[in-house]
């Protein structure tokens, strides 16, 4: 139970939610039972404590009757939660952000791409002409909360071939002959892209 600890007959400890592997569901999304150890006047105690879904760093969880013994009986144990970063997902409140890399063909032609979510892989429809820095919203795919659930924001980046094959070079040259960008259009694009930058990992959350 989230709570503010009183000053008497209580014990305080900290628990970290372990970052999940790339293919596992993050613990803050589904909840987890953690083995928690703490020290009392009589020694070290350990118990399995349920960590509810949606917890965030700085929250306190209360376990009744697991604190120091006092005149009125045993006090309570207060656990401060620390959530470690995930290797794929960035959390912003109850919303989740993830970066997805596209091939040049996927960005130009669109289609369906597979993106990671808190529940596993999911297909997302990609519109033609997707630009680096564009994003799509997957509603209700964020972290669970008492008031509902947040959203997942999928940010896109486009992989430009670093060492294209001769065939790729030939195709890109043909494509370039049919695509002309004026100097004014280039300036407009730079201004728009500059507004996208910012936020954690260089993403704009606005």
Do domains 11-83 and 89-185 share one topology? The answer is yes
Q: State which fold the 11-83 domain adopts.
A: HSP40/DNAj peptide-binding domain (2.60.260)
Question: Tens place of pLDDT for every residue, the chain, 206 residues?
Answer: 455 544 445 555 555 554 443 444 566 665 666 777 777 777 787 878 877 777 777 778 888 877 777 767 778 888 888 877 788 888 888 899 999 999 999 999 999 999 999 888 999 999 999 999 999 999 999 888 777 789 999 999 999 989 999 999 999 999 888 887 777 776 765 555 554 544 555 555 55
The CA distances from residue 182 to 104, 186, 196, in Å, are: 21, 6, 22
Neighbours of 18 (CB within 10 A): 13
pTM, two decimals, is 0.70
> Which pLDDT belongs to residue 201?
57
Q: What's the token pair of residue 43?
A: 């020694």
Q: How many residues make up the chain in this entry?
A: 206
Please list the alpha-helical segments (H only) found in 43-182: 104-109, 166-178
CA 18 – CA 26 distance, rounded (Å): 8
Check: CATH 3.30.1490.190 for 89-185? Answer: no
Q: Is 146 helix (H, G, I), strand (E, B) or coil?
A: coil
**Domain boundaries in the chain?**
11-83, 89-185
């Amino acid at each position: 139970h989230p709570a503010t600890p009183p000053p008497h007959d209580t014990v305080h400890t900290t628990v970290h939610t372990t970052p999940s592997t790339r293919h596992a569901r993050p613990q803050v999304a589904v909840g987890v039972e953690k083995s928690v150890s703490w020290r009392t006047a009589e020694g070290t105690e350990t118990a399995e404590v349920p960590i509810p879904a949606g917890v965030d760093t700085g929250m306190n969880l209360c376990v009744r009757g697991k604190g120091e013994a006092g005149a009125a009986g045993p006090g309570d144990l207060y656990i401060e939660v620390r959530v470690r970063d995930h290797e794929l997902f960035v959390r912003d409140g109850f919303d989740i952000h993830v970066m997805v890399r596209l091939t040049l063909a996927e960005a130009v032609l669109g289609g369906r791409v597979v993106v990671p979510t808190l529940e596993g892989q999911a297909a997302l429809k990609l519109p033609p002409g997707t630009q680096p820095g564009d994003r799509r919203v997957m509603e209700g795919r964020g972290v669970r909360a008492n008031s509902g659930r947040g959203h997942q924001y999928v940010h896109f980046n486009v992989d430009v071939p670093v060492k294209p094959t001769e065939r790729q070079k030939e195709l890109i040259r043909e494509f370039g002959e049919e695509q002309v960008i004026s100097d004014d259009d280039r300036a407009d694009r730079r201004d728009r892209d500059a507004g996208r930058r910012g936020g954690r990992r260089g993403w704009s959350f606005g």
